[in-house]
A = this chain, B = another copy of it.
Amino acid sequence: MASKRKVSNPLALAVMALLYERPMHAYEMVTLMRERGKHESVRLRYSSLYSVVGALEREGLIVPRETVREGRRPERKVYEITGAGREEFLAWLRELLREPVKEYTQFAAGLSFLAGLPPEEAVALLKERVRRLESENEEMRSRLATAMEQLGLPRLFLVEAEHELMLREAELGWVRGIVEEIEAGKLGSLSEWRSLHTGQGEGGGESDV
């Protein structure tokens, strides 16, 4: 379980998923991923894509089928998935669904050093975060509704978006709560917290940030 994959960028999973359907060239993968909104759940950069495709080829998980050229455009290498590629795709997918993995988020990093700011400022920043989350989540919710109602996509192809929205709503609720708790002094005495910042400017020595 959780074995190291030879190509570990999740973009490689997406490439194999697409080639599982039918052979195509790299740029077409980008187009399809965008159309289907998969770039919202798998980070997609041209430069990563081409290097990932190269790595998959090197590992024998995909193979070039033909090289076509239209007009004087650059050549396009059409790839197809191999048997080993299909197995790798399925094994990886199963692992991702079965095994929770620890993820490090930017916000968690920020929270770790919350004591590095005085409580009033922390509260102000978190309130601003609440505002931003509210509007971003509203936007996501309506895009999701559109995808389902207007485009008529079954939820099966939108679960990852529902998941993301759920996480963001959970974060929003939590941040609202923590703001109240800070104000109520429930994370620790506000005067002690403030006192970590009294030697302002130079070496406002925290004791346990």
Which residues of A line the B interface, CB within 8 A?
10, 13-14, 17, 20-22, 36, 38, 41-43, 89-90, 93-94, 96-101, 103-117, 121-122, 125-126, 128-129, 132-133, 136, 153-157, 159-160, 162-164, 166-168, 170-171, 174, 178, 181, 186-189, 192-193, 203-209
Is the CB–CB distance between A114 and B97 below 8 Å?
yes
Which residues of chain B come closer than 8 Å to A153, judged between CB atoms? 208
A209 touches which of B21, B114, B203 (Cβ 8 Å): B21
Q: How many copies of this chain sit in the oligomeric assembly?
A: 2
- What are the 3 tightest A-B residue pairs by CB atom distance, in nearest-first order? A96-B110, A154-B188, A170-B170
- Which residue of B100, B111, B126, B192 contacts A41 across the interface (Cβ within 8 Å)? B111
- Asked if residues A41 and B156 are in contact (CB atoms below 8 Å), the reply is no
Contact A163 B108 (CB under 8 A): yes
Q: Assess whether A96 is in contact with B106, with CB atoms less than 8 Å apart.
A: yes
If over half of A's interface residues share one DSSP class (helix, strand or loop), that class is named, otherwise mixed; here it is helix
Query: Contact at A107–B116, with CB atoms within 8 Å?
Result: no
Residues of B within 8 A of A100 (CB): 107, 129, 132-133, 136, 168, 171
In the complex formed, the residue of B with least CB distance to A104 is B43
Q: A113-B17, A116-B20, A116-B89 are in contact. Are A108 and B41 (CB under 8 A)?
A: yes
**Residue contact A154 to B187, C-beta cutoff 8 Å:** yes
Nearest residue in B to A114 (C-beta to C-beta)? Answer: B159
Residues of B contacting A43 in the complex (Cβ-Cβ under 8 angstroms)? 104
Q: Are B160 and A112 interface neighbours, CB within 8 A? A: yes
Q: Are A109 and B129 in contact (CB under 8 A)?
A: no
- In contact, B97 and A111 (Cβ under 8 angstroms): yes
Instruction: Report B-chain residues with C-beta under 8 Å of the C-beta of A122.
Output: 97
| 5 other A-B residue contacts (CB within 8 Å) besides A13-B110, A97-B110 | A90-B117, A98-B129, A100-B171, A108-B164, A154-B189
Question: Does B167 contact A171, Cβ atoms closer than 8 Å?
Answer: yes
Tell me the complex Cα distance, A138–B26, Å: 44
